[in-house]
Amino acid sequence: MTEPLAKRRYGGMAGHERAAARREKFLQTGLELFGTLGYTASTIEILCEHAGLVKRYFYESFTDRADLFRCVYDAQIQRLQEVMLDAVLSAGPSIEEQIRVAVPTFVRSLAQDERVARIVFLEVFMTGAAMQARWQEARMGFADFLADTVTRALGTPRSTRIEMGTLMLVGAVSDLMTYRATGSLKVDIDEIAAISIEHFEVFYHRFLSELEEPVANEDRRLR
């Protein structure tokens, strides 16, 4: 019996393996072109030409150019989330140690590849409302991670106040990285890491003092 076309092997690869390889090729091409030419200039024709693949293979994996951008964006956000988690797990037990490792690791991971910084902080706004909503979700995801880290360290339930504080911190770091990516803020990446750590520590110790204050007042009342 003749083997189905989709299952035939060419060059040692089955059909689904070749399709996966073509998809990965487009993802790498998207990272390169969206991160250098920009979203608007990176037409499907240019993407296909750069990937060395015909259009039908593009539509094999993606519905349109925005779909490819979303996949590239999501892959980078997932990588950054993993970088943050690994940094926290590799640091010492205190939250101060964790943030002093995680923040520099995070911002340096962004800064070491200008394509990623451009995609995450600039080009995401060129792709329409759906991606802007995805950008907000990503920021909330980082803020949630930070809020979980803080509440675990404080031994207290999450509160709206803590959630607002962590979202504000994530927004501040994001804005600094955005201005750096546009060239409006000409600072070394270590300066962004340092001021981000300082603001986090102020935030954390403020909440810590608020938790300790009622206990101290109760101790004074009982004396």
Global pTM value: 0.85
Q: Are residues 41 and 79 in the same domain?
A: no
Q: Are residues 21 and 70 in the same domain?
A: no
Residue 216 has pLDDT above 60, yes or no: no
pLDDT at residue 53, rounded to an integer: 97
- What confidence tens digit (pLDDT) does each residue in 166-181 have? 999 999 999 999 999 9
| Domain limit, last residue, from 15, 37, 61 | 61
Q: Is the dihedral of CA 109, 115, 118, 123 positive or negative?
A: negative
Nearest to 87 by CA among 2, 197, 8, 12: 197
Q: Are residues 15 and 113 in the same domain?
A: no
Residue 222 has pLDDT above 50, yes or no: no
Give the separation between CA 171 and CA 163, rounded to whole angstroms.
Answer: 12
Work out how many domains the chain is built from and give that number: 2
Give the separation between CA 207 and CA 203, rounded to whole angstroms.
Answer: 7
Q: Are residues 52 and 95 in the same domain?
A: no
Q: Are residues 34 and 50 in the same domain?
A: yes
Give the separation between CA 97 and CA 91, rounded to whole angstroms.
Answer: 6
pLDDT at residue 155, rounded to an integer: 85
Within 8 A by CB and 6+ apart from 62, the residues are: 26, 68, 71
Name the residue type at position 180: R
Give the separation between CA 185 and CA 182, rounded to whole angstroms.
Answer: 8
- What confidence tens digit (pLDDT) does each residue in 21-62 have? 999 999 999 999 999 999 999 999 999 999 999 999 999 999
Question: Domain holding 147: CATH number?
Answer: 1.10.357.10
Q: Are residues 37 and 113 in the same domain?
A: no
pLDDT at residue 111, rounded to an integer: 86
Q: Are residues 80 and 49 in the same domain?
A: no
pLDDT at residue 11, rounded to an integer: 56
Residue 98 has pLDDT above 70, yes or no: yes
Q: Are residues 141 and 208 in the same domain?
A: yes
Residue 201 has pLDDT above 80, yes or no: yes
Q: Are residues 95 and 161 in the same domain?
A: yes
Range of the domain at 48: 5-61
Nearest to 114 by CA among 34, 23, 28, 196: 34
Q: Are residues 156 and 173 in the same domain?
A: yes
Nearest to 84 by CA among 65, 67, 66, 104: 104
Question: Domain holding 21: CATH number?
Answer: 1.10.10.60
pLDDT band at 12 (very low <50, low <70, confident <90, very high): low
Q: Are residues 31 and 97 in the same domain?
A: no
Q: Which two tokens stand for residue 156?
A: 């207290």
Residue 73 has pLDDT above 50, yes or no: yes
pLDDT at residue 221, rounded to an integer: 46
| β partners of residue 13 | 10
Q: Are residues 160 and 187 in the same domain?
A: yes
pLDDT at residue 207, rounded to an integer: 84
